[in-house]
Chain A
Amino acid sequence: NAGVTQTPKFQVLKTGQSMTLQCAQDMNHEYMSWYRQDPGMGLRLIHYSVGAGITDQGEVPNGYNVSRSTTEDFPLRLLSAAPSQTSVYFCASSPDGVALSYEQYFGPGTRLTVT
């Protein structure tokens, strides 16, 4: 199993550009999530999904969209990038859906810079 994969690893955008961060897992996990990591802030939850076709907002959802058309994929879209979205983005998955368990597996991260 590859686990949780994320692409790209690095990305530079200009303000106003749009892009999609890709996340895929091959463990048949129900739960998937996106976090952003900023210095001194830890990990903050952006959006999450408890199963295909179901998504919900986390702590910091503004400026981001998600969809979950398959169990494996959970892309994160930035519609109009802003410098405040400069961060490291992590995708994670967990075997449990509604009954979220502790067992979250994280991808390697995407480092995004918005100029």
Chain B
Amino acid sequence: GQQLNQSPQSMFIQEGEDVSMNCTSSSIFNTWLWYKQDPGEGPVLLIALYKAGELTSNGRLTAQFGITRKDSFLNISASIPSDVGIYFCAGQKNYGQNFVFGPGTRLSVLP
């Protein structure tokens, strides 16, 4: 069954606004990933996190590995139209195991 939850499911924001989304689980994960999927394309890796409490940035994107190791957060600052897409989190429980994916957060940016 699905092990990761993402919220919100979808969001509509104005261009220039900041965005926050999260990924939660009842299980502990050792690695968290954040992907973005553009319409009609495959997911592309944005950020990888390896340690509890880790904060990593990629341009306007910042992701954090939750202290409890059961959650992760993604923030996008000053959103622009090309930020539109679906954002997925993925977690790996133990080194060498396959990743499990969350259901995604669909982001729409209004001009």
- A binding-site residues for B, Cβ under 8 Å: 4, 33, 35, 40-45, 48, 58-59, 90, 92, 98-100, 102-104, 106-109
Give the interface segment out of B11-19, B62-70, B75-83, B98-106: B98-106
| Least distance between B105 CB and chain A CB atoms (Å) | 11
What is the 8 Å Cβ interface bit string for chain B, positions 36-67, against chain A (1 contact, 0 not)?
00001111110010000000000000000000
A41-B2, A42-B101, A42-B103 known; A106-B42 Cβ under 8 A:
yes
* A109→B2 contact, CB < 8 A: no
- B binding-site residues for A, Cβ under 8 Å: 2, 4, 9, 31, 33, 40-45, 48, 88, 90, 92, 95-104
* B103→A41 contact, CB < 8 A: yes
* A42→B102 contact, CB < 8 A: yes
* B103→A99 contact, CB < 8 A: no
* B44→A42 contact, CB < 8 A: no
* B31→A43 contact, CB < 8 A: no
* A106→B44 contact, CB < 8 A: yes
Q: Which residue of A lies closest to B104 (CB)?
A: A42
A102-B45, A106-B44 known; A42-B88 Cβ under 8 A:
yes
CB-CB under 8 A from A42, the residues of chain B are: 2, 4, 88, 101-104
| Least distance between B96 CB and chain A CB atoms (Å) | 5
CB-CB under 8 A from B100, the residues of chain A are: 45, 59
A42-B88, A102-B92 known; A108-B42 Cβ under 8 A:
yes
Partner of A40, one of B41, B98, B103: B103
* A103→B45 contact, CB < 8 A: yes
A sample of 10 inter-chain contacts (CB < 8 A) reads A35-B101, A40-B103, A42-B103, A42-B104, A43-B43, A43-B101, A45-B100, A106-B42, A107-B42, A109-B42
CB-CB under 8 A from A109, the residues of chain B are: 40-42
CB-CB under 8 A from A104, the residues of chain B are: 45, 99
| Least distance between B44 CB and chain A CB atoms (Å) | 7
Within the assembled complex, what's the spacing in Å between the Cα atoms of A103 and B44?
10
CB-CB under 8 A from B101, the residues of chain A are: 35, 42-44
